[in-house]
Structure 1
């Protein structure tokens, strides 16, 4: 029988914040799934999510495929035993938890080359924020000694404010000769990434590893956002949670 592997995004796919749980399950039915650095609860699972995770864990191997860093992934309280894809595909962990060094070396070179563009755009966004009185600022996300992307969060969690930054600052900058960068906006996160940083690339790398280890396999992809669609499309089957950005763009529009 062919071995089966599920590449699964984490946040808003296998669990979510308490605010987003309100539309999915009553408070008393929730269980903690991830934590902040101070030990307080960050995200919860619903009964349906727990049942789904138990179901897929019986018949396939779940491979987290997430934007989370090494530190924030370590604070996820779910059991995983295989490869892990972190930082939008910037880092791959091997089953023993160590960083896959060949992939890390490749990504470090690509990300170092992309860093000046991220710094330039970050300065433009911060200058715009200063001029307009906007309270948010950019943050460069680095992990294991490698810079990966910049992110802006709205301090008041007004998602429409991030749309304005994307429209007035980011998209014009990309159109002005910076096509090797792309935007990922979902909820209260506006991230700008080098196009060479892509979960799909890391998933393809891990999939090839798995085929060398196990022969022919069956792959599943699961995610909630537009940016997840690329790696999901490369899998044999795709799974989309309801009431997510990706479901609203696909199945819920039919």
Structure 2
């Protein structure tokens, strides 16, 4: 029986140097657009990836855009899920057009809300003197979500943006959107954008191609929890947001 692992990338298979608990024998795993190193793998992560790759097919399931995904230096050979589920790549690297058409319609409908919230965050930043700014993430001509990063990489600074601007908006006219904050990333997504929906779509494809299969889900954050829960088994790296919420809490 074929086995497939849907795996988040950042903070799951690799991470920035600041998040590396062990800093010996690190190897580059992803790069910035200027060619400098963005993220690294530890020896343990490489051993786990080799172990998993030997027995199952690994399918990246990430918030990364197509450009950022292409700057990941790890060999994947099957489907890939990008932009929180907004884009699906087929095994040959081409975009799955049926899915793309569906998501383009949903995201176009959600764009006015994202623009409204981006304007509110921008006004709040100007009024308070906060240095961060909202950015609309688009890929292949489709808008997907808003992201805010703290310019000083102080993750707690984003809590105030979430509490004072984002959550009140979601509680009112923004009820069709959700917020995800982990580390130095605060993202606001339409509820119609979810990794779990893309994983379900790819899983159905895999069942048609291979018959009965076993699926595994692996991720570090609460935004990964839904697609992981839909898989047959879930894998959670330690010292991550999801580990603190689901495992360390017990």
TM-score by length of 2: 0.99
Q: Distance in 2 between matches of 1:39 and 1:154?
A: 22
Write the mapping of 1:1-254 to structure 2, written as runs, cut at 5 A.
2-21=1-20, 23=21, 25=22, 27-254=23-250
Q: CA deviation at 1:179?
A: 1.1
| Cα displacement string for residues 97-120 of structure 1 (whole angstroms, at most 9, x for unaligned residues) | 000000000000000000000000
* Structure 1: gaps (5+ residues): none
Output the aligned Cα RMSD: 0.6
Distance 1:207 1:61 in 2: 12
Shift, 1:177, TM fit: 2.6
**Segments of 4+ moved more than 2 angstroms:** none
Deviation of 1:28 (Å): 3.1
Q: CA deviation at 1:233?
A: 0.2
**Residues 57-96 of structure 1: per-residue CA shift (max 9 Å, x gap):** 0000000000001000001000100000000000000000
Whole-angstrom CA distance in 2 between matches of 1:154 and 1:80: 31
Structure 2: 5+ residue stretches without partners: none
The TM-score normalised by the length of structure 1 is 0.98
Which whole-Å CA distance do the structure 2 matches of 1:84 and 1:47 have between them?
A: 24
| CA distance, structure 2, for counterparts of residue 226 and residue 147 of structure 1 | 22
Deviation at 1:159, TM superposition (A): 1.2
